[in-house]
Structure 1
Amino acid sequence: MKNKLYENHLKEVMAKRPVFGMTIYSGCPQFVELLGYAGFDFAFIDAEHCPWETTALQNAVLAARSTGVSPLVRVTKPDMIEIRKALEMGAEGVIVPHVRTIEEMKICVSGAKFPPLGRRGFDVNVRAAQYGFDMGGVEFYEEANRTELVIPMAEDFEFTDQLDEMLAVPGVDAINFGPADFSMSLNCRNNTSGGNSFYDLNDSPADIAMKDIIAKARPKGIGVMAPAVPPTYENAKKLVDKGVNMVIMGNDFGNYGAALKAIREETLAKFK
């Protein structure tokens, strides 16, 4: 029987409603804990753009588990060892950046899933299996295959150029669409009135690509993740109305910075 702290439930929640999370860049476990207290569904723990190795993520994963928020770890690349290690330390899912080829798509599944879905290395002496304590090997790999999420990132034109073939790879649970990198892969700076144009999802080339992913992924039971920029109700609702069911509500640096700016403008400036 698996300890309740390590029961995976995000897939179950996603079947009922959209889920909401935040990216954690800082490496601060306390920020991850706060997501759970605030009622977020998942923590997007980033190891691609942050100065920590995958094996140093365990405190953030433990912080997420302690408050009931699902830890999703973004590894640095499509690599079977990195993917496996993130899941073994207790992540509920892996997010894999810059998946550009069918082979890389298959690596995402092979590293995360046990046979017959993939070729993940097996060992029960890991946190995800409670180190073999009161959890049998068969129970471990069956539950892992059923509940852990594989989330490749569509953030390059190569992904959408072969979208049908990408989505035909079995074992993928969701696609994380990255509008900024996708726009840059096209050497395209979207024309918007203010804000970060690389994240424009208002009839931009990135928006068109995302809609195509949604139209082809969701009928297959594959979720779609995308960022609400800025993280407002209005922007989140636009994404959900389009068919996104995993919404990223900003990141710890951005949201903390926005709070500091508000304090500076609303209070500090009045005393200077």
Structure 2
Amino acid sequence: MPFQTAVSESLQGPGPALGFWLTLPSAALVKTILHGPSGLNSRFSWVLVDAEHGLITDREYYELCNAVASEGASPVVRVPAAEEWMIKRALDAGAHGIVTPMCHTAKDAAQIVRSSKYPPLGTRGYGPMFAPHAFPGVASGPEYDEGSQTGVTVIVQIESRSGVENVEEIAAVDGIDVLFIGPFDLSKNMGVVRGGPEHEAAIQRVLKAARAAGKKAAIFCTDGQDARERVQQGFDMVSVNTDVGVIRAGMLGELKVAAGGAENVAAGGGY
């Protein structure tokens, strides 16, 4: 039987699955953000553990996955590349989902699915000594083994011109759960202005392809307003900010107030 995770439940529900980017290898930081009542009607259902551009390596996966899961959210690991051994390392550390950058073709997508699942559905090597620790209520052995075949969320990033051109075929690949747009890489790869007409048309094409294939659509956002607008467009999974963006904006905002300036400071932090 497949098990449910915070991110899979959120994706199946009526509202958007909201999450954020973790680029610093700190379990204390992520637990501080997630812990306790938020005072809001919404909670983060997922945290992207960024091993592609963040300062995180597979050495930190286990601790971070368990820290996120202990607070009722899903750790979703973005691996540096769509290599089978990288996907295996993330899943064996307890990732509830994997994100692979730069998916260009349906062939790429099919290989990512195979790397994410045990035989006979895929080629994932067997050794889940630690993975079940990040799945509260899921026992080691058959319960995790069988449940992970469909319970782990498989997410591919569409962030290149070739990815957009092939997105309908990518979306049709069985086992792909979410198409995740990387808007910054997409604009650079396409050679167009981010937020311009051609860039936005590509984003909407990915959204439409996901919808047509019965898959979920996700996008990276750098602030709450951007995230709200993407939710209103119909995106199912949206990031609201990055850890470093919020830390920088918060600290500089307070510095500016203390120095007698205005309160609003752009998040920055690299994006």
With normalisation by structure 2, the TM-score equals: 0.85
From 53, 57, 82, the counterpart of 2:57: 53
Identify the residue that residue 210 of structure 2 maps to in structure 1: 217
Q: Partner residue of 1:63?
A: 67
Instruction: Flag the 1:134–1:15 CA change in 2: closer, same or farther, 3 A.
Output: closer
1:162-181 maps to which residues of 2 (within 5 A)? 162-181=166-185
Q: Which runs of 5+ in 1 are unaligned?
A: 191-197
Instruction: Identify if the C-alpha distance between structure 1 residues 134 and 117 changes in structure 2 by more than 3 Å, giving closer, same or farther.
Output: closer
CA deviations over 1:71-91 (Å, ceiling 9, x no partner): 000000011111111111111
CA distance, structure 1, for counterparts of residue 20 and residue 197 of structure 2? 24
What letter corresponds to residue 229 of structure 2 in structure 1? K
Q: Which amino acid aligns with 1:15?
A: Q
Give the aligned partner of residue 30 of structure 2: 32
Within 1, Cα distance between the matches of 2:80 and 2:218? 18
Match of 1:72 in 2: 76
In the alignment, the residues of structure 2 paired with residue 117 and residue 126 of structure 1 have an alpha-carbon distance, to the nearest angstrom, of: 21
5+ long unaligned stretches in structure 2: 262-271
* CA distance in 2 between partners of 1:111 and 1:223 (Å): 20
Task: Find out whether 1:92 has 2:89 as its counterpart.
Answer: no
Counterpart code for 1:158: S
- Separation in 2 of the partners of 1:221 and 1:115? 25
Poorly superposed stretches of 4+, deviation over 3 Å: 133-138
The amino acid of 2:201's aligned partner reads: I
Question: 230, 233, 245: which one pairs with 1:239?
Answer: 230
CA distance in 2, matches of 1:206, 1:70: 30
Q: What does 1:65-214 correspond to in 2, within 5 Å? A: 65-128=69-132, 135=139, 137-188=141-192, 190=193, 198=194, 200=195, 204-214=197-207
What is residue 12 of structure 2 aligned with on the other side? Answer: 15
Per-residue CA shift, 1:132-178, capped at 9, x if unaligned? x9836432222102211111100111111112221121101101101
Query: Aligned partner of 2:12: which letter?
Result: A
Cα separation, 2, equivalents of 1:91 and 1:62: 9
Alpha-carbon contact 1:87-1:128 (below 8 Å) kept: no
**How many residue pairs get matched?**
253
- The TM-score with structure 1 as length reference comes to 0.84
Deviations 1:102-125 (A, max 9, x none): 332122111112234322112342
- Work out whether residues 110 and 119 of structure 1, in 8 Å CA contact, stay in contact via their aligned partners in 2: yes
Q: Secondary structure at the match of 1:57?
A: helix
Q: Decide whether aligned partners of structure 1 residues 32 and 136 sit closer, same or farther in structure 2, where only a CA change above 3 A counts.
A: closer
Q: What is the Cα deviation at residue 182 of structure 1?
A: 0.6
